[in-house]
Amino acid sequence: MEEQNVIVGEFEDELYAEIARRDLEAAGINANILKGNGSVFILFSEKDKAVRLVIPGTQIEKAKQILARKFY
């Protein structure tokens, strides 16, 4: 069974998404930047933000903790 991907963060600027992606990768979480629409489950969404950070759903809690320290 394929693991479901989720959006863990949304950014107005690709630079911030890349910084967040690198932080998650450093913590062992495979993260990808998604621009535009994609086939992922949207956990939460702010429609005005165009760049999304996508991770495996099983890593959501760890990723939210990492991102909360830097971005929220």
Number of domains in the chain: 1
Q: Which domain holds residue 30?
A: 5-71
Query: How far is residue 43's CA from residue 55's CA, in Å, rounded to a whole number?
Result: 11
Query: Domain of 62: which CATH number?
Result: 3.30.70
Query: How far is residue 68's CA from residue 49's CA, in Å, rounded to a whole number?
Result: 18
Give the pTM: 0.76
Between these two residues, 27 and 13, which has the higher pLDDT value? 27
Element (H, E) at 18: helix 14-26
For 26-68, what is each residue's pLDDT tens digit?
999 999 998 765 544 444 455 555 789 999 999 999 999 999 9
Q: Which residues pair with 56 in a beta bridge?
A: 5
